[in-house]
Structure 1
Amino acid sequence: MWTSLKRLLGYARPHVGVLVAAFACMALLGLATGAYAYLMGPALRFLLSGGAEGFGGAQPVPWLSRLPREAVLWGFPVVVLTVGVVKGVGYLGQFYFMGLFSQKVVADLRRELFVRLTALSPAQLARERMGDLLSRFSADVQAVELAAMYTVGSYLRDSLQIVVLAGVALSISPVLGGVMLGVLPLAALPASKLTRKALKGTREGQVQLGHLAGQLQEGLGGMRTIQAFNGQAAELARFSEHARAHEEALVRAAWARGGVPGVMEVLAAAALAGALAYAAATHAMEPESLLSFLTAVVLVYQPVKDLGRVTQFAMQAGAAGERLFSLLDLRHPVEDVPGAVEAPAPKKGIRVEGVRFSYGERRALDGLTLELPVGKVVALVGPSGGGKSTLTSLLLRFERPQEGHLYFDGVDVDGYTAASVRAKFALVTQEPLLFSGSVLDNLRYARPEATREEVEAAARVANADGFIRALPEGYETRVGERGVKLSGGQRQRLCIARAVLSRAPVLVLDEATSSLDPESEREVQAALAEVLPGRTALVIAHRLSTVVEADLICVVEAGRVVERGSHAELLKAGGRYAALWALQTAAPERGAA
């Protein structure tokens, strides 16, 4: 926890100026609080004695006895009001500046989290539960925000008040003041044990909250399946188990946190009782001195208790920091090597040579070699799990080959920056991903500077301009979250238009039609018939009917290319491709029979 808290403090460095302003306000607050304690005894004694003599015949207050009684009677309320105004300004200023500080820190942290999330590979994100990621972005960041707002301010403000009030108490009675300060360390041992218990419960609570968010996200995404199999009871049981664990962890943490101010309350009462007993037994303190001392003791234990109370925010921030930094410390598997340069567009072609890649114990690619000539359409076909989509991830530098190399015109792509290599590909996946803006916004996502004429030209190439103009607001029509207002074929044609607009030299179609119904597939096929001729393209498909016009077809099984050739050549060879073609073309006839 302490390591993560130390790292979180690093986010405060750019905003030290705001902290200095907050500390100045806290200094006013501390001095005003000390003034209350110091003035209380002398002022009350003067008012009761008239400045002539003290309680029980004791000597009058020297510096007050020289003032006219009327001046003190009218002046003291003004002094109290002035101290109150100063204290109020201190409170207002420190809360404003600490609020500003916390928002700046959280904004920096959220920005860094977003940058890290968008910099990770799809495979890394797939290993994380989406709900847990969202929990880190919301609940964990909020814990840091509360700590920045209250804990940092409390440590500065309350520590300053403790120093000022302790100084007042020591100046009045060094003996009792020393006893009062000596009592404080007695709370260290029980407070330390309780803090460790609270930290453990807080950490468990944060983890369980991530599980709850993850299950909620899964449940909302799979509601059709849950209801279709009447799985509501099973989901409720899972949810209840995580909720119970979350509740128990936070209750344990709350019990431990509550023990810290409880210990401080007992110590404060003991200190007060000891001061009263000492004063009664020795008569060594004047009444006004005793009153000021007791006021200082009462006031000094309040910030001490506040420090114990706000420590819970620090513990929550520490536990949240551990989860946040576990994400921030992840690195993309393909990072640029020193001296990497911008990749040029390939003029001859792309070569994949002897590439091997495994997911744990499962081998996805096993020495695969492939040529992708410029201006040609190369198709990859074969059974699921053969490594076709893995090859796409390697080409787009989402992953790095564990063995083998990728070449642009004979130059190893490891010498190029990953972003510049990625920019040479336009990807269209099985799941057409659109954002919640307008049609125009989604198309321009590939190239924000594109003109309206260029956007419309790309849409016409992708056979999408007609249906776009038929929408209620044409290109300005908002498509809804993930394009929910459009059909599957329309969404996919927009994705193809976006890829065309990007002007990337190589087009990659990864199962672009496999999830579509027959009518939508025909629409997309018509769009591809306009897009593919003369382009450099890699087409990954299960349906062989979609790749018969490809210049080269490669059959991939168990991570290797086992056959290659044109559609006619592979049918004539009578190998794996011919068997797959017979299987797929015979399926409708068997269904009809």
Structure 2
Amino acid sequence: MSVPAVLWRLLRYGRPHVSVLVAAFGCMAVLGLGTGAYAYLMGPALRFLLSGGTEGFGGEHAVPWLSKLPRETALWGFPVVVVLIGLIKGVGYLGQFYFMGLFAQRVVKDLRREVFLKLTALSPSQLSKERVGDLLSRFSTDMTAVEWAAMYTVGSYLRDSLQVLVLAGVALSMSPLLGGVMLAVIPLAALPASRLTRKALKRTREGQSQLGQLAGQLHEGLGGLRTIQAFNGQAAELERFSAHTKAHEKAVVSAAWARGAVPGLMEVLAAAALAGMLAYAAATRAMEPAALLSLITAVILVYQPVKDLGRVTQFAMQAAISGERLFALLDLRHPVEDPPEALPAPTLRQGLRFQDVHFSYGQRRALEGLTLELPVGKVTALVGPSGGGKSTVTSLLLRFEKPQSGHLLLEGVDADRYAAASVRSQFALVTQEPLLFSGTVLDNLRFSRPDATLEEVEAAARVAQADGFIRNLPQGYETRIGERGVILSGGQRQRLCIARAVLSRAPVLVLDEATSSLDPESEREVQAALAAVLPGRTALVIAHRLSTVTGADIIHVMEAGRVVESGTHAELLQASGRYAALWALQTSGAERGAA
């Protein structure tokens, strides 16, 4: 996407707030007219000082109402006019910055909300391709760049362009020839300035990319701090970090040089044009001194907003690069999109079925013609070696991904006919990593059903064997558990997740390796909770430890994306196949560990 296209797309976020922008433009108009008034009055003021009388305000470029005043009145009147203009300009400045600040905050608020919604709406596989630090950099650094552009660049383009027009009008009214020659310098600087701007844009893009790399490495480093320190890897990490830092520094310095050259070029051209105008005016005496002074003042003043326009272009470039990164995220499309006339998914009464489903992650095959049923009111378990496709089944059920061929059937109807959110509402998920938020116990439990009463919350906690330890916490259900439930043990965190799933009242409970990361004591606690939760429920249990699924109604052994064995625990052991071999391997390992 080109830079103008990115900036135009960013500006579209300002449409709902155009009234604020109009108010800001009104203040800018007052500011521009005040600046033009200063330039226009400079010549008559000089003539007034030199002549000592009000006739100084007459002549070719007169201020009529001042020229008619008595001298004593004019002595006070002119300073009052100057102060009044300054007061009006001050109010214009204040109003402009207030309204542009309000405009910027509202634009960024809308954009930030859209980015947040996109991040929470993408599939896990899409987000897994991005570094978390880089995503955080887009949400912070890139968003700040857009905010600064909305506040300063848009305001400067409006304000300074208006001042240029007003001051150009004053200069041309004094002398069309000299004023035109002076103003012609501005477009002459456009070609070299555009080349410098393109160079700055390229370097700015490189700098933003390196900044995302730095943020990504920092996030990885904090997450893997124990590993880094255990292997004394600080030096290697520092070397990698220094390489990104050096690349970022080089890009930023190069961009700063290119941006700084633009106002420097304007300064040189302005000085040359001013010197030429003074030499011509002195040689030809084509203008009276008062008019010449007003012209010089207008020309000097006009170059400042022109330089400001060049200076704030850096904010526009930064916003363009940041906008590219933000829109690259916003333009991602979820693998599962609702059909034009999506139907709400019905409550499950018969069951779910995978019918000859194929699915791949890039070149890696995950499911190869999987056919599988999840009957209502039964506990179905999936076991098998890693990479067999078990977790992919969960992703397809929850509509994180879509079968590349074959069908997922709900009540005998293809899931593609239903709205994805309504399909997800059929499931309550408990994952291997207990995901809790930094609020209270009550907040975390109500996350699945915000309107649940306290009695319903407590009942769900009792079913999940969590009510007892919750009441022993300092503030019971109102205890704040810290980031990711840091004050709780692994078993307690997982039991809270199970209670949250029970509270949701979803027809199907999905347990994806819910006990695999727990120590033996915590695993026993969670298994006791599951023994109370699972009977009579429709559930899908994905497990690595076979001891978790011995009570399942049906167990499917998966390998290479297919079901290779099915049956109850007893039936599979009697068959002496893959399941029996896995069982023997795990139980013999447990016996050796106990010995």
Asked if 1:92 is matched to 2:94, the reply is yes
Of 342, 345, 354, 1:343 maps to 345
1:454 matched to which residue of 2?
A: 456
Whole-angstrom CA distance in 2 between matches of 1:505 and 1:588: 35
2: CA distance between counterparts of 1:43 and 1:478? 70
Q: Distance in 2 between matches of 1:215 and 1:196?
A: 29
Cα distance in 2 for partners of 1:171, 1:533 equals: 91
CA offset at residue 375 of structure 1?
A: 0.3
Q: Given the alignment, which residue of 94, 105, 108 partners 2:107?
A: 105
Which of residues 205, 208, 213 in structure 1 aligns to 2:207? Answer: 205
Deviations, residues 159-179 of structure 1 (Å, cap 9, x unaligned) = 000000010010001110110
Q: CA deviation at 1:194?
A: 0.4
| Residue 377 of structure 1: aligned partner | 379
Question: In the TM superposition, what are the counterparts of 1:122-521 in structure 2 within 5 Å?
Answer: 122-521=124-523
Query: Is this contact kept in 2: 1:51–1:61, CA < 8 A?
Result: no
Q: For residues 96 and 62 of structure 1, what CA distance do their matches in structure 2 show? A: 34
Name the SS for the 1:369 alignment partner. strand
- The CA deviation at 1:209 is 0.4
- The 1:565/1:81 distance shift into structure 2, 3 A limit, reads same
Q: Distance in 2 between matches of 1:61 and 1:108?
A: 51
Query: In structure 1, what is the equivalent of residue 45 of structure 2?
Result: 43
Alignment pair present for 1:522 and 2:524: yes
CA distance in 2, matches of 1:223, 1:262: 47
Aligned 8 A contact 1:352 1:407 in 2: yes
CA distance in 2, matches of 1:575, 1:498: 37
Structure 1: runs of 5 or more not aligned: none
> Which amino acid is the alignment partner of residue 444 of structure 2?
N
1:13 CA drift (Å): 0.8
Are 2:54 and 2:69, in contact at CA under 8 Å, matched by a contact in 1? no
Post-superposition shift, 1:249?
0.3
Equivalent pair of 1:54/1:60 in contact (CA under 8 Å): no
- 1:26 corresponds to: 28
- Matched letter for residue 535 of structure 1: R
Q: Report Cα offsets for 1:207-265 as digits up to 9, x if no partner.
A: 00000000000000010010011110010011000010001000000000000000110
The Cα of 1:182 is off from its aligned counterpart by: 1.1
The letter of the residue matching 1:445 is: F
Q: SS of the residue aligned with 2:540?
A: strand
Identity %: 79
- Does 2:17 align with 1:15? yes
Paired with 1:473 and 1:84, the residues of 2 have a C-alpha distance of 61
Contact 2:54 2:70 in 1 (8 A): no
Structure 1, residues 458-483: CA drift from partner, whole Å, max 9, x if none? 00000000000011111111110000
Residue 532 of structure 1: how far off its partner (Å): 0.3
Give the Å deviation of 1:46. 1.5
Structure 1 segment 60-75 matched on structure 2, within 5 A? 63=64, 64-75=66-77
Runs (5+) with no aligned partner, structure 2: none
Whole-angstrom distance in 2 between the partners of 1:393 and 1:491: 23
Note closer, same or farther for the CA distance 1:175–1:505 as it changes in structure 2 (3 Å cut). Answer: same
| Cα gap change, 1:581 to 1:279, in 2 (>3 Å) | same
Structure-2 residue corresponding to 1:82: 84
The CA deviation string for residues 267-320 of structure 1, in whole angstroms up to 9 with x for no partner, is: 111121112111100111111111111110110000000000000000000010
Residues 462 and 176 of structure 1, relative CA distance in 2, 3 Å threshold: same
CA distance in 1, matches of 2:60, 2:305: 34
- Give, in whole Å, the separation in 1 of the partners of 2:428 and 2:493: 16
- 2:63 and 2:404 map into 1 onto residues whose CA distance is 87
Shift of 1:411: 1.1
Closer, same or farther: CA 467–591 of 1 in aligned 2, 3 Å: closer
Aligned length: 591
CA RMSD in angstroms comes to: 1.4
CA drift of 1:103 comes to 0.3
Distance in 2 separating the partners of 1:426 and 1:273: 78
- SS of 1:253 mapped into structure 2: helix
Is 2:566 aligned against 1:567?
no
Give the match's secondary structure for 1:335. coil
Structure 2 distance, partners of 1:22, 1:306, is: 18
Listed one character per residue, the Cα deviations across residues 346-387 of structure 1 (whole Å, up to 9, x for unaligned) are: 101111111110011110000111111100001000000000
Mapped to 1, the partners of 2:307 and 2:365 lie a distance apart of: 59
Any idea what SS the aligned residue of 1:548 has? coil
Deviation at 1:591, TM superposition (A): 4.1
Task: Write the deviation string for residues 128-163 of structure 1: whole angstroms up to 9, x where unpaired.
Answer: 100000000000000000000000000000000000
Secondary structure, aligned partner of 2:199: helix
Q: How far off is 1:43 after superposition?
A: 1.6
Does the residue aligned with 2:493 lie in a helix, a strand or coil?
Answer: helix
Measured in 2, the distance between the counterparts of 1:212 and 1:280 equals 59
1:51 is displaced (CA, Å) by 3.2
Deviation (angstroms), 1:50: 2.2
| Amino acid in the other structure paired with 2:27 | C
Q: Which residue of 2 aligns with 1:553?
A: 555
Offset of residue 67 of structure 1: 2.9
Change (3 A) 1:54 1:450: closer
TM-score normalized with structure 2 length:
0.98
Distance 2:63 2:397 in 1: 88
Q: Which amino acid aligns with 2:506?
A: A
Query: Residue 552 and residue 165 in structure 1: after superposition, are their counterparts in 2 closer, same or farther (change >3 A)?
Result: same
SS of the equivalent of 1:587 reads helix
Write the distance in 2 (CA, Å) between the matches of 1:510 and 1:379: 10
Deviates more, 1:44-53 or 1:225-234: 44-53
> SS of 1:479's equivalent?
coil
Q: Secondary structure at the match of 2:209?
A: helix
Normalising by the residue count of structure 1, what TM-score does the alignment of the two structures yield?
A: 0.98
Secondary structure of 2:189 counterpart: helix
Instruction: Find the aligned partners of 1:566 and 1:218 in 2 and give their Cα distance.
Output: 43
Structure-2 separation of matches of 1:22 and 1:34: 19
Q: Structure 1 pair 471/59, CA: closer, same or farther in 2 (3 Å)? A: closer
8 Å contact from structure 1 (residues 46, 65) kept in 2 = no
| Alpha-carbon shift at residue 53 of structure 1 (Å) | 7.1
Look up the equivalent residue of 1:241 and give its one-letter code: A
Please identify runs of 4+ aligned residues in structure 1 that moved more than 6 A: 52-55
Question: For the residues of structure 1 that align with 2:241 and 2:593, how far apart are their CA atoms?
Answer: 43
The answer to whether the 8 A contact 1:46-1:60 is kept is no
The CA deviation at 1:183 is 1.1
1:488 counterpart letter in structure 2: G
